[in-house]
Amino acid sequence: MESTDMKRLFPSRFLLTLEKDGLVVLFHQLRPEPVYFSKKSWQEITSCINLGIQPKHNIVLELVARKLFIVNSQTDQQMLEMVREQTIRWLNRPTILYLMMAQGCNLECSCCSIPALAKIYGERLLSFEDAIAGIALWQKHIKEQPQDNDLYFLIFYGGEPLLNRGILERLLPYVVREQKAERLPEKLELMLCTNGLLIDGELSGLLAYYKVTVAIGMDGWQERNDFIKPKHVIKRLINDGVRVVASITITPTNINRLAEYPDYFRELGISQFGFNLMKGKALIHELAGGSIEDYCRAAAQGVLQGLSSPIVNGRYYEYQLEKKLIALRKGLPFSVDCTCYGNQLVIQADGQVSNCPFLRFDQGQVRELPGTFRIGWTEAVKTWRRRLPILNDSVLVEYSDSVLDGGGCAWSSLELYGDVVARDTVNTIFTKEVMYGLIWTLLPKKQADALRRGETAYWGYRRVRF
């Protein structure tokens, strides 16, 4: 192995160090490939580096290969530019289409923005013609991007989409025909997001026939801090062969009960579920003077409890954990918590096109847009992308661990701070706390014990050739 000039080494701007239970982990925020040490061995190595002395273990080559320690500040800039290019390519992939089937809903949940939006835009229902035009627009976006093994999603959303059941029933065979004609991706998941109250036996059978995943929103199913169990709806769907998932909003009311959800959902036969943070003014109202930071950290700890509940095929039962863990395992710099940065098209119930289901920066009526329209080229998306630390030059001077914060939510920022590009404290604290927790899951217990006993000097998650 080649020698390293220890006197010229200094830590990368993107080096992050965490400690836990006598261990230290180092990783590059732009390419998280962690290296783990005992606290004692890391202190010895740090001392050697500071003194310009070669440690007895040849770990320095590993640290240099991972760009954790560098000899030239241009290395950080070059790495940043490379990852930025990758990020832009990824953000330009339109993997999601939201069809907002109905602006209104048959429930009024305090944590939901739909009632307020319905008052502004009216309780509109999406027309079949606008839905078809939205699918055609999505097809143009998809055609221009290289295909790979990514899963695409066509999501029937609302409000409550089943208020527009007739149009949904017309759209399902149309989508399947388009897919069979290879005008839609082969790996396409159809998803219906609903509170489930309007599902009957006939519709359940139809959803099974068209292989629609049903995402049951549990946000409004609470009474006196207890669950109202929609067992009859979920049982009917599962018995008919429908894949059922669930979503639950983390509120100040249920935040101390998050550990109960995995077992409860498992008992119902739900294949996977996802926690969602409250956002904006609704969260401030529910906190009633409580600390946002405390809420975010408690939420992160509650979500991390899902680590103990993997399903049979090895995927994490909680969707947010799985998404972030996949990003880490692939060495991606962060898991974006919002897909409004170019990854999705939203066709609102009134036919307007936007990049977000809730924070509407309408781009025009879907049947009237020019053929050259692409969501990633809009000023709304360009503005929102500045929210992402990795695309903002402030990442070089501010918020030393900001790359991992996921960018936050523009809607929450606008409600809390009056600016769509303001830093979203709620989501960024939560995401970083979760990412910090997940970093440690990449270290096997056997290796952790060996590090603590001093039997090995260090352990790297992914072998780096140098």
Residue 332: name the closest of 22, 74, 35, 87 by CA.
Answer: 87
Same domain, 187 and 333: yes
Amino acid occupying residue 466: F
In sequence order, what are the residues at sequence separation of 6 or more whose Cβ sits closer than 8 angstroms to the Cβ of residue 147? 185
Q: Which of 44-48, 187-191, 221-225, 363-367 has the lowest mean pLDDT?
A: 221-225
Instruction: Say which residue, 190 or 317, is predicted with more confidence.
Output: 190
Report the alpha-carbon distance of residue 29 to residue 43 in Å, rounded.
21
As given in the structure block, the two tokens for residue 29 are 């925020």
Counting residues of the chain whose pLDDT is more than 90, the rounded percentage is 41
Same domain, 198 and 326: yes
**Residue 146 domain-assigned?**
yes
**How much is the average pLDDT of 458-465?**
72
In sequence order, what are the residues at sequence separation of 6 or more whose Cβ sits closer than 8 angstroms to the Cβ of residue 25? 17, 18, 19, 34, 35, 36, 37, 439, 440, 443
In sequence order, what are the residues at sequence separation of 6 or more whose Cβ sits closer than 8 angstroms to the Cβ of residue 74? none
DSSP H helices, 156-259, are 165-180, 201-209, 231-239
**How much is the average pLDDT of 331-356?**
87
Other C-beta atoms lying within 10 Å of the C-beta of residue 132: 18
**Residue 1 domain-assigned?**
no
pLDDT at 112: 66
**Residue 176 domain-assigned?**
yes
Q: Which of 222-226, 259-263, 364-368 has the lowest mean pLDDT?
A: 222-226
pLDDT at 111: 60
Does residue 244 surpass a pLDDT of 90?
Answer: yes
Does residue 229 surpass a pLDDT of 60?
Answer: no
Q: Which one of 346, 376, 406 terminates a domain?
A: 376
Encode 29-63: b = buried (16+ Cβ within 10 Å), e = exposed: bbbbbbbbbbeebbebbeebbeeeeebeeebbebb
Same domain, 312 and 270: yes
pTM of the model: 0.89
Same domain, 172 and 252: yes
**Residue 75 domain-assigned?**
yes
Does residue 187 surpass a pLDDT of 70?
Answer: yes
pLDDT digits (tens, 9 = 90+) for 200-222: 999 999 999 999 999 998 764 44
Does residue 113 surpass a pLDDT of 80?
Answer: no
Encode 152-175: b = buried (16+ Cβ within 10 Å), e = exposed: bbbbbbbbbbbbbbebbeebbeeb
> Omega into 371 within 30° of 0, i.e. cis?
no
Report the alpha-carbon distance of residue 103 to residue 126 in Å, rounded.
8
Q: How many domains does the chain have?
A: 3
- Are 332 and 463 contacting, i.e. CB atoms less than 8 angstroms apart? no
Same domain, 193 and 60: no
- CATH number where 345 lies: 3.20.20.70
Does residue 230 surpass a pLDDT of 90?
Answer: no
DSSP 394: G
Same domain, 451 and 424: no
Q: Report helix, strand or coil for 193.
A: strand
Instruction: Say which residue, 239 or 118, is predicted with more confidence.
Output: 239
> Which residues face 100 on adjacent strands?
157
pLDDT digits (tens, 9 = 90+) for 381-432: 999 998 888 888 777 665 456 778 888 889 889 988 899 888 888 888 888 8
Does residue 272 surpass a pLDDT of 60?
Answer: yes
In sequence order, what are the residues at sequence separation of 6 or more whose Cβ sits closer than 8 angstroms to the Cβ of residue 341? 91, 355, 381, 384, 385, 387, 388, 407
Instruction: Say which residue, 239 or 61, is predicted with more confidence.
Output: 239
As given in the structure block, the two tokens for residue 288 are 């009633």
Does residue 124 surpass a pLDDT of 50?
Answer: yes
Same domain, 205 and 281: yes
Instruction: Say which residue, 392 or 184, is predicted with more confidence.
Output: 184
Q: Which one of 350, 376, 402 terminates a domain?
A: 376
Does residue 148 surpass a pLDDT of 90?
Answer: no
pLDDT at 465: 45
Question: Residue 19's domain spans which residues?
Answer: 6-86+440-460
pLDDT at 391: 86
**Residue 54 domain-assigned?**
yes
**Residue 466 domain-assigned?**
no
Instruction: Say which residue, 280 or 166, is predicted with more confidence.
Output: 166
Same domain, 184 and 261: yes
Same domain, 208 and 351: yes
**Residue 53 domain-assigned?**
yes
Q: Are strands 96-100 and 152-157 parallel, antiparallel or unpaired?
A: parallel
**Residue 122 domain-assigned?**
yes
Report the alpha-carbon distance of residue 112 to residue 110 in Å, rounded.
6
Residue 226's pLDDT band (cuts 50, 70, 90) = very low
Report the alpha-carbon distance of residue 404 to residue 388 in Å, rounded.
10
pLDDT at 400: 59
> Which residues face 192 on adjacent strands?
156, 214
Q: Within 13 Å of residue 115, how many CA atoms lie on the same side as its CB?
A: 9
**How much is the average pLDDT of 67-84?**
90
pLDDT at 225: 33
Same domain, 42 and 141: no
